[in-house]
Chains A and B, each alone.
Chain A
């Protein structure tokens, strides 16, 4: 790694705690400052039809520490967070950190598998499409890719379930934890990035094929396969890698649809449930985890791009 890349990594890494600190203050303060009675919301989230009861609200506020000044609440939370204690859920009273990290692990697994499938399909499809314009792969990248990019996951997911689980009976319709249960959510989540990767790689490959160094390599008599692997693919990968980091980060917190449709206990579903029940400690922890991972993944993608493409160094 060259020095500028190391300097970039160091600078970005130093920014991570500062951004997380600022984000945690915003995430902590916003729900409390936006109005509404947080304690009442917590009671309703636990017992839906409960009528307002000021005495019960006062007791619960004292138990949850919501009766303290906002600054004290935040500082107490921050002190806990620095020790790895992200607080206790308002609804379940259980420690938040294990729950959020467990869910983040599920989402990360889902996202990495989806990205692997997307790259496994998108890279060769994009290279093949650029190498043989107008042929099957090129047309597929256009047509299948258009569908994959346009149709949302809440349509694709149930459609895959209907075909592969209900009609064919090959796969279970929902759940997580076994390989067969992972197939449908991974496929659903992989379709969009696969189509995107194929199109990016096709465009970059076309540019790379016309590059003088590639033309020279061809003129020297190198095999087509070697030309593609050595001279074209690294340049094409740069664009894909630039997208991979944000995709993984976005998926970690944003695969709500896939996680709900397939009943996957990931971070997206956990956050959606926490927002519905105004479980602020879980929301805070989830957002901080997503932000931290997003920043690290984006940095990793940027560093990888620079390592692969000399023009960026």
Chain B
């Protein structure tokens, strides 16, 4: 044991210099959180980081969202449309974290900056958006053609407004002490984390914790262990294998909720064999999506019966039908495939989302039972994308968010399923579908849009445009912290409502 003496000495020296245990939710109102996705581009608004800043409760766009995803007043209190022009009236008395006051010029500066980026945010790209101050507290926004959902687009975190001091520096605008949210970012530690302090000058409900220490922890198991050890009081995106244990732990409040994402088996309709709808329907019938969700993924996802899941009001909540192998074989026989002419197809997917390779294996196994042989390739998405977009594939297992930065599915339906859409991997060509989705360009009413979404999703099912496999579920857990409100849309602020327990 004498051999261990040096290491004990080294450890003792290390520990003697330590600054105490890691903070969690302590008495001075500090909450430590472990989030799964670090900033992608140093909190750039033309990246997904604008949405992250909204989720943190740091930055705010003109329009906020209610829990159902409806547009409600944010930095703007009201808005009106007149053809291609919208007028947004700004909220009085809004103060940036650096003390500057919100006015129309500040909004124009912020939106002009993000619109001028080489690749502007998805929410406001391709609509010809221009903004101008029309008065001290009025902003006019114009689009190339009348846009029925501009307020929803401007709820995207990518369109958040920073203080004018953040712009014109020659550098990327920094959110440190320049935003308007209930939490003020005071320190950025690269992609490792950030420090947020309560903004006492906030106009609305104050953040419940005086300080939030944000850590971006990319490994799910590390997030779980950090929560269990008390390093953090809130963690999201927990390991599938830990769900039962966390749910049973009385010291942990575990939440599981749907996400606006679908894992799809995309089928190439532009070439045989999936140009034949009978073959596509045979593949759909051969798959047991309930088994894939509940057994293969252990319940960490919900079986999908159409493109939209329970995260949105117009999503399907019905379970898909069980597998019908005889039906699948009959359809294949009608299409000329059977023991004498077996169908052999390629299935591509990528490992960035670890559930995809697992699902690919299970899908191949289920298809095998119906007489379809599958050759699986797990590759890099970046290499696969040009091939699938060019129609040089058979089946592609993909994971797709059906809301792009704001709670409206029109852009996904357009890019993914209309003729000539920029991400039309399936190669679906349907004038009826194009006309239906085209109506979204003029429909403002939320309920009417929801009806169109339901109808569009139904058409995709009827025409067997790929197979929606599962809707992944999100997870979060609190320990020594209260207040978390699940947001299936993943678009609303999360951290301001967290508070130390007790």
Contact = CB atoms under 8 A, between A and B. Distances in A.
Contact of B41 (A37, A52, A56, A92): A92
A173 B7 contact: no
Contact of B382 (A36, A120, A121, A260): A36
A263 B22 contact: no
Contacts of A40: 382, 385
B215 A175 contact: yes
A56 B119 contact: yes
Contact of B119 (A46, A89, A91, A263): A46
A82 interface: no
B226 A120 contact: no
Interface residues on B, range: 35 or more
B385 to A, nearest CB: 7
Interface stretch (A157-165, A290-298, A299-307): A157-165
Interface stretch (A68-76, A177-185, A225-233, A239-247): A177-185
Nearest to B24: A172
Interface in B225-271: 225-226, 228-231
A41 B401 CA distance: 18
A124 B3 CA distance: 5
A312 interface: no
Interface in B174-195: 189-192
B217 A263 contact: yes
Given A59-B118, A93-B41, A93-B42, A49 B231 contact: no
B225 A63 contact: no
B4 to A, nearest CB: 7
A53 B18 contact: no
Given A49-B400, A260-B222, A179 B18 contact: yes
Interface string B11-44: 1001111111110000000000000001011101
A128 B3 contact: yes
B260 to A, nearest CB: 11
A47 B119 contact: yes
Interface of A: 35-37, 40-41, 43-53, 56-57, 59-60, 62-63, 89, 91-94, 99, 116-117, 120-121, 124-125, 128, 136-137, 140, 158, 161-162, 165-166, 169, 172-175, 178-183, 186-187, 260-263, 265, 269, 273, 276-278
In the A-B complex, list the 3 residue pairs whose CB atoms are closest, starting with the nearest. Answer: A180-B18, A120-B6, A172-B22
23 contacts: A41-B382, A47-B121, A50-B119, A50-B122, A53-B126, A56-B119, A92-B41, A93-B42, A94-B42, A128-B2, A158-B221, A161-B225, A174-B215, A174-B226, A179-B14, A179-B15, A179-B16, A180-B18, A180-B22, A182-B14, A260-B218, A263-B218, A273-B191
Given A46-B119, A56-B119, A91-B47, 20 more contacts: A35-B383, A36-B382, A37-B386, A47-B47, A48-B48, A50-B122, A51-B423, A52-B422, A53-B422, A99-B190, A166-B229, A169-B229, A172-B229, A174-B217, A174-B231, A179-B14, A179-B18, A180-B19, A262-B222, A265-B192
Interface of B: 1-4, 6-7, 9-11, 14-22, 38, 40-42, 44, 46-48, 118-122, 125-126, 172, 189-192, 215, 217-219, 221-222, 225-226, 228-231, 352, 380-383, 385-386, 389, 400-401, 404, 415-416, 421-423
